[in-house]
Amino acid sequence: MVDSSVRFYEWQVSALVRKDYYTQEHICSVPKKFTVEGFAGEKSSTIIMRVKINDDSVKEYGNAKEIITEITLYENQPFIDLQYYLKNKEKTFCVESGHFVFPINLKNPQVNINKLGCVINPAVDIIEGGNHNLYCCENWVDITDGEKGMAVIPFDTQLFSIGSSGIVNCRREYVSEEPTLMFNAFNNSYGCNFPQWMGGDYSFRYRLIPHLGDWKQGNIAKLAFESVTPPLVGFWDGHKSKDNLPISNDLIKELNGMEILSFKQAEKTDGLILRLREINGKKHVVKLSFNRDFESISRCDLLERIKDRPFEQNREIQFETRPFEIHSFYLRTD
């Protein structure tokens, strides 16, 4: 029996700890002389900015040889899309981290983070002793002063810090800093999450949603859910499907502050399972009206076991929800 661990000393020290690593002063390389071009579509317009980089930051410190930024504005949408491309990024022996930085011009800001199906305020909702240098969001982060705000959806970079880089740092209490969101695109400091040598071509997407009021008034949860879960389009040949799903796609008239987590055939094949989640952080009464009659509608658990007696109505139901609560319903079709 082995009673001690084996350390691959040479690999561990040389590759991870970087043996004989020299002290590196902080450098700031700002690309200049961007070229700009624009394209106007039927419902949107895009600005594309490009810049070549050939200074010491490329070979010595692992910078990209070219950076491309695309900014897209839409005619009837309340958001702006950004896409960044890093072309031919060099690998480097240096410890590095790359961030996309969004400074928000607000005084007395409050940060709200969409995390694990709910929304938290890191100043009050994180357990004592938790790390406040680095956070991870599910779909979006919002900063507001109560009158106006900005939500950011990082499609590809859920790790972020507020005010300064949080990589390889730990702070056990919340400290109010400048409302600057720094989304970590890559780093080679955490070898368990990222490759040790970052090189090649990369692209990163963000969506900015300015709004009045807080995230609830800005309807951010709904906009973010629609952004990260685009609709799936299929073909129907006019015949009843083998899954016995309703012919009409418009099953529910109004969701009333809820989002659909799942809509599928029941495992027993005698009905449908509808699973909803409250998204606005409010306790309220939900009224659901369906566009067809069911044999019965009952609450069920995650294993599709019916929990209580069916609702009195088979086309319209009412129930009370708590903030971010999940509800499952068994809709019998025969």
Instruction: Give, for 227, the enclosing helix (H) or strand (E).
Output: helix 220-228
Measuring CA to CA, which residue among 37, 43, 36 is closest to residue 73?
43
Same-domain check for residues 208 and 292: no
Residue 217 lies in a domain: yes
Measuring CA to CA, which residue among 115, 122, 123, 51 is closest to residue 88?
51
pLDDT(292) > 90:
no
The residue segments making up the domain with residue 155 are 22-228
**DSSP states of 77-98:** -S-EEEEEEEEEEPP-SS--EE
Residue 318 lies in a domain: yes
Digit-coded pLDDT (tens) for 40-85? 989 999 999 999 998 888 888 889 999 999 999 999 999 999 999 9
Residue 252 lies in a domain: no
Mean pLDDT value of segment 178-194: 83
3-class SS of residue 175: coil
Residue 253 lies in a domain: no
| Predicted confidence band of residue 16 (pLDDT cuts 50, 70, 90) | low
Same-domain check for residues 311 and 198: no
Same-domain check for residues 77 and 146: yes
Same-domain check for residues 44 and 168: yes
- At residue 144, the pLDDT reads 96
Same-domain check for residues 81 and 218: yes
Residue 101 lies in a domain: yes
Per-residue CA distances from 224 to 82, 122, 258 (Å): 15, 20, 13
| Predicted confidence band of residue 149 (pLDDT cuts 50, 70, 90) | very high
What is the share, in percent, of the chain residues with pLDDT greater than 90?
A: 55
| Predicted confidence band of residue 30 (pLDDT cuts 50, 70, 90) | confident
Measuring CA to CA, which residue among 155, 107, 139, 166 is closest to residue 259?
139
